[in-house]
Amino acid sequence: MVVVRALKFLLFRKKFDRLTLNASPAARLDAAYKCLLGNAQDKAVNEPLCSCDELMDKMARWYASDADPTILVDVFRNKLQNTRPYPQENLEDYLDRYLIYWNNLCCFQEASLFTESSCCLWFLRTIRCKPLLYAEVMRRNGRKMRTLSEVFAVVRDSCQVLMDIEAVSNHFTADRSTPSQNTIFNNHRSPRPESKSMPPPKTLPHSGISHRPFLSRNQLLLPTRMLAEYRLMIFPTT
């Protein structure tokens, strides 16, 4: 019950901050007082508070002190250590969800037992289910990062590199309709547009001469075997 109430409080705080983002500090504090009922309102009135953030911090400590203070910390720490990306979850959604867990833990005073650098190591363990991504992040010294923002930046770059490699690999695959088995994160990038076919030859007016538009450099490149046979035709080795 204590955990459920704490989660409801955290959800309330997130919505309250969003709705009062552009309000003045005095207006935010007055609105926070009006949202309180019962014992929470009585405690808030008897406390010398100067800002809305101070009130919210005290409320977080009140919720944590209703029972064993370590209960809430254990719940959020367990989420940070054991969460995994959902099957159809993209990268940005997973990073946002993990950051919410960390912010929830930081709302309580007992969270001072844990540092953000330790949370970075927990996060890296959660992406072991993505072996290619995990290996690329480790190659970029992901374990040396001390903040979640640094780790998230490395993960984004690594994921982008792997997605580009996968796209190039799929481009040269015979059966392009078969999805790759090395997907890093679903829905991370929009699908590549289909290549357009060459337009038909055009005929010049008043002549029987046909021509094609100018080709790009990449379109002029011939496969190696075809180029070798073409050279043999022009320059016989006899």
- Using one digit for the tens of pLDDT, what is the confidence trace for 53-74? 888 888 877 766 655 556 777 7
Report the C-alpha gap between 223 and 238 in whole angstroms: 24
Last residue of a domain, one of 140, 168, 196: 168
Last residue of a domain, one of 22, 41, 67: 67
Cα dist. 164→68, 90, 135 in Å?
49, 16, 16
Is the pLDDT at 230 greater than 60, yes or no?
Answer: no
Domain annotation covers residue 224: no
Is the pLDDT at 3 greater than 60, yes or no?
Answer: yes
What is the pLDDT, as a whole number, of residue 52? Answer: 87
Is the pLDDT at 172 greater than 80, yes or no?
Answer: no
pLDDT per residue as tens digits for the range 90-121: 999 999 999 988 988 887 766 677 889 999 99
Domain annotation covers residue 208: no
Residue 67 neighbours by CB distance under 10 Å? 14
119 or 7, higher pLDDT = 119
Q: Are residues 101 and 134 in the same domain?
A: yes
Lowest-confidence region among 91-95, 138-142, 171-175? 171-175
Report the C-alpha gap between 209 and 169 in whole angstroms: 40
Q: How confident is the model at residue 207 (pLDDT cuts 50, 70, 90)?
A: very low
What is the pLDDT, as a whole number, of residue 182? Answer: 45
DSSP 8-state symbol, 110 = G
Cα dist. 22→19, 32, 73, 198, 209 in Å?
8, 14, 31, 55, 70
Q: How many degrees, rounded to 5, is the angle at CA 138 between CA 137 and CA 144?
A: 100
Instruction: Please report how the helices 116-126 and 70-82 are oriented relative to each other, as an axis angle in degrees rounded to 10.
Output: 40
pLDDT per residue as tens digits for the range 37-47: 777 778 777 77
Q: How confident is the model at residue 199 (pLDDT cuts 50, 70, 90)?
A: low
Is the pLDDT at 180 greater than 50, yes or no?
Answer: no
What is the pLDDT, as a whole number, of residue 189? Answer: 45
Q: Are residues 53 and 87 in the same domain?
A: no
Domain count, the chain: 2
Last residue of a domain, one of 67, 86, 117: 67
Q: Are residues 18 and 87 in the same domain?
A: no
Q: Are residues 80 and 161 in the same domain?
A: yes
Q: Are residues 160 and 76 in the same domain?
A: yes
Q: How confident is the model at residue 212 (pLDDT cuts 50, 70, 90)?
A: very low
Q: By residue range, what is the domain housing residue 164?
A: 71-168
Q: Are residues 51 and 103 in the same domain?
A: no
Domain annotation covers residue 150: yes
